[in-house]
Structure 1
Amino acid sequence: MPKLADHDARRAQIADAVLRIAGSTGLHSVTMRSVAAEAGVSVRLVQYYFETKEQLLQFTLTRLAQHMAERLRVRVAAAGEAPTPRDVVNAVLTEALPTDAESRTFHLLYTAYAVLAVTDAKLAAQPFVDAPNAMEDLLVAQLRAAQQAGDMTAQLDARVETVGLLAMSAGLGTSVLLGQRTKRDALAVLHYHLNRIMPTS
């Protein structure tokens, strides 16, 4: 068991080095050599745990997504013991915005990875596709629950509204990264559309 724990710690150490590099100079700067230098280990050790750069990036993205999922759980929990569908949707959309260092790194890495995956089949791993689909299904379920509770108009298409909200959230995140608008302005836009779908009393 101790050896397994050491291996996990090493993988985490290496993945965290990837995040620091990607967050400061971009995903294109991530190489086995640059990661080894940032992590303070040998290139051979990085290659021992990750035979290819693709494996390294996939592991790092998965690790970061797990961190963001935990942040989301904390945000939802902060809404109270019985969060409403609106609370959950608001938490998801808010967490998706680059409002601090970790969420900024997630947005940068995820967006850059997605662009690379378009032209590199090795990077287009199934988990990368499954995660957004799972998030979409989660929000669809929340919107339908809101409809059943009478908090959202039954005539609205929950799936279409969800797709629109997620696409808008992603676009707003990019606009924040580019400095086109502030985090506060992006949140205001999200809340405007959320209020349109699920008006507050």
Structure 2
Amino acid sequence: MPKRVDHGQRRAHIIEALVRVAAAEGLHAVTMRAVAAEAGMSLNLVQYYFDTKAQLMHAALERLEQQSHARWSARLARLPQPVTPQVFVETFLAEALPTDEESRAFHLVWTSYAVLAMTDPELAAQPFVEGPNRLERQLTAVLQQARDESAADRSWDAATEAAHLLTLAHGLGTSVLVGQRGAEAATRILHAHLDRLFDPGE
């Protein structure tokens, strides 16, 4: 009886190989042949699951986003309940900082993809910004609820603050990736901003 193939597992194995190559050498160094070698597969087998490098790279982004969301959910589940809006947002944005090997790989691949997409029409055609858009909508909803339920007079706009926070977090994440500052310093900067945002006296 022929061995049954788990296609989902094979796709995941190929994607993980891409992430390892990208994390070690940069996304510009990723080729279908390099991914095949890292995965221990033939090039034809990789191309059976992913027709083009752009398709493979987009699949990798989707998987990394799912893993990032799972890490965030796990962080949230470990917190004492009920979770305050500020702690919820802090936990949410902590995933935007490359503080360990997994989150570093995620941010390195995503940032590299965004840079390559600026000059590669095939990559730019992929809807890779939907992930960040989804995060921004989710963060906006949390901030809006916190603003509406606060006894303090909060004059800030939830959508504007959500964009501001995500931009700050991603900028700090990039500064960690390039060695401008450490993860702890970036986390302190982020917390300081949130302390001002949620200051009950504001």
TM-score, with length taken from structure 1: 0.93
* Equivalence map 1:83-162=2 (5 Å): 83-125=83-125, 127-150=127-150, 153-162=153-162
Deviations 1:22-65 (A, max 9, x none): 01110011101100100000000000000100111011111111
Post-superposition offset of 1:80: 3.1
* Equivalence map 1:53-68=2 (5 Å): 53-68=53-68
Question: Unpaired runs of 5+ in structure 2?
Answer: none
The answer to whether the 8 Å contact 1:86/1:142 transfers is no
1:26 paired residue number = 26
Distance (Å, rounded) in 2 between the aligned partners of 1:102 and 1:62? 14
Distance (Å, rounded) in 2 between the aligned partners of 1:200 and 1:94? 22
Aligned letter for 2:36? A
Shift of the 108–151 alpha-carbon distance from structure 1 to 2, 3 Å rule, reads: farther
Deviations 1:78-122 (A, max 9, x none): 223432322221112111100000100111000010111122222
Distance (Å, rounded) in 1 between the aligned partners of 2:69 and 2:194? 21
Distance (Å, rounded) in 1 between the aligned partners of 2:137 and 2:150? 20
Distance (Å, rounded) in 1 between the aligned partners of 2:129 and 2:90? 23
TM-score, with length taken from structure 2: 0.92
SS at match of 1:102: helix
Provide the aligned length of Structure 1 versus Structure 2. 199
Post-superposition offset of 1:152: 6.0
The answer to whether the 8 Å contact 2:116/2:123 transfers is yes
1:80 paired residue number = 80
Aligned letter for 1:112? S
Distance (Å, rounded) in 1 between the aligned partners of 2:55 and 2:103? 22
* Equivalence map 1:3-42=2 (5 Å): 3=4, 6-42=6-42
Distance (Å, rounded) in 1 between the aligned partners of 2:82 and 2:125? 35
* Runs of 4+ residues over 6 Å off in structure 1: none
Distance (Å, rounded) in 1 between the aligned partners of 2:143 and 2:174? 25
Q: What do you get for the CA RMSD once the two structures are aligned? A: 1.8
SS at match of 2:128: helix
Post-superposition offset of 1:14: 0.5
Aligned letter for 1:18? L
Distance (Å, rounded) in 2 between the aligned partners of 1:92 and 1:26? 26
Distance (Å, rounded) in 1 between the aligned partners of 2:152 and 2:22? 40
Distance (Å, rounded) in 2 between the aligned partners of 1:88 and 1:134? 16
Shift of the 105–141 alpha-carbon distance from structure 1 to 2, 3 Å rule, reads: same
The answer to whether the 8 Å contact 1:143/1:152 transfers is no
Question: Unpaired runs of 5+ in structure 1?
Answer: none
